[in-house]
Amino acid sequence: MSGAGTRMRRADALIRQVVAEGVARLSDPRLLGVTITHAKASRDLRVATVWWTTMRPDDLDAAGEALESARGVLQGRVGSAVQGRNTPQLRFEHDDHQRRAEDLTRLIDELAPPDPE
């Protein structure tokens, strides 16, 4: 594995950890149940996309707004942790892998023949 690839994986993991800890420490009730699933930084660390999900699907919009509202605070924490030339600009994306997996499971169940028992 290349040194650059290892460095980027470490940066991604650090960003995810710092944002997750920052979200947990914020007192915004809209962030209750929000989980930071992963992060991916650009090679120059100017931009980092952070994927998140929530345990309460009805609160997706509110949680997204809360993350956008907290962007500056979270970005500052990431900048202090990364200690690079650039502080990554955070972009938040909802991680809908779980919902898509549930949809796929439901489709499989609908198409599968009934159990003979």
DSSP E strand boundaries for 1-117: 34-41, 47-54, 89-94
Structure tokens at 106: 């439901």
Percent above pLDDT 90 for the chain: 62
pLDDT per residue over 28-41, tens digit each? Answer: 999 999 999 999 99
The radius of gyration of the chain from alpha carbons, rounded to an integer in Å, stands at 18
Residues 47-79: tens digit of each pLDDT: 999 999 998 878 889 999 999 999 999 999 999
| pLDDT of amino acid 3 | 73
Query: Is the four-CA dihedral 60, 102, 95, 11 of positive or negative sign?
Result: positive
**In this predicted structure, what is the pLDDT of residue 2?**
66
Q: Domains, the chain, ranges and CATH?
A: 3-111 (3.30.300.20)
